[in-house]
Amino acid sequence: MEALYLMDLLELYQEEAAQKMEVSRPTFARIIKSARNKVALALLGGHTLHLENTKERYVVALCSENETSPYSSLSPKSRYIHFFTLENHHISEHQMIPNPLTSNQMKPPLVLTELFVNQRVNVFVTGTIGQGFKSMLSTKGIPVLLKEEITDEEITALW
């Protein structure tokens, strides 16, 4: 799904999409070909594609220098942390707090992972992330979406 999202919705080139997924371009080409093949077979074969989200509540976290949309300069060390609660495919709540990393010298994995778990974050959107932080979030079940900038509409589409 991530490959389809990057190529077909964000319209990235394979090289750029591969970098965001942290795979080689040839590997990405195989992933996107397989994904498109599966979708085509399901649609042309008369099958129904079921993409379900069984969560009643979905929380998206991002760190940004901006207080309002579009949120840009997405980085774990940005000034603000935004938490978006999505319900019924709409933003039902937006909470913004100062990023605790700006007031101390601690590393993002040590501070933000616990904060995201406590806030029940489902996905973290960022333009940059270290492998250690990404791995720590992954062990807590929080996937990372690499994106330099995001709007409210794109946040809603993450549901």
Domain boundary assignment for the chain: 2-44, 58-157
Helix 25-44 and helix 14-21, axial crossing angle in degrees, nearest 10 = 100
Where are the extended beta strands (E) located within the chain?
Answer: 58-64, 80-87, 90-98, 123-126, 144-146
CA 13 to chain centre: 18
Q: What is the identity of the amino acid at 129?
A: I
Give the architecture-level CATH label for domain 58-157. 2-Layer Sandwich (3.30)
Neighbouring CB atoms inside 10 A of 61's CB total 22
Pairing of strands 90-98, 123-126: unpaired
Q: What is the mean pLDDT of each run of 10 residues along the chain (159 residues)?
A: 80 86 89 88 77 70 88 90 90 93 80 92 93 87 89 86
Cα 147–149–150 angle (5° rounding)?
95
CB 149 within 8 A of CB 74: yes
Per-residue model confidence (pLDDT) at position 59? 93
Per-residue model confidence (pLDDT) at position 49? 67
Q: How far apart are CA 114 and CA 108, in angstroms?
A: 10
Per-residue model confidence (pLDDT) at position 103? 75
Gyration radius of the chain over CA positions? 17
Decide: pTM greater than 0.75: no
Q: Does the CA dihedral 61-64-67-72 come out positive or negative?
A: negative
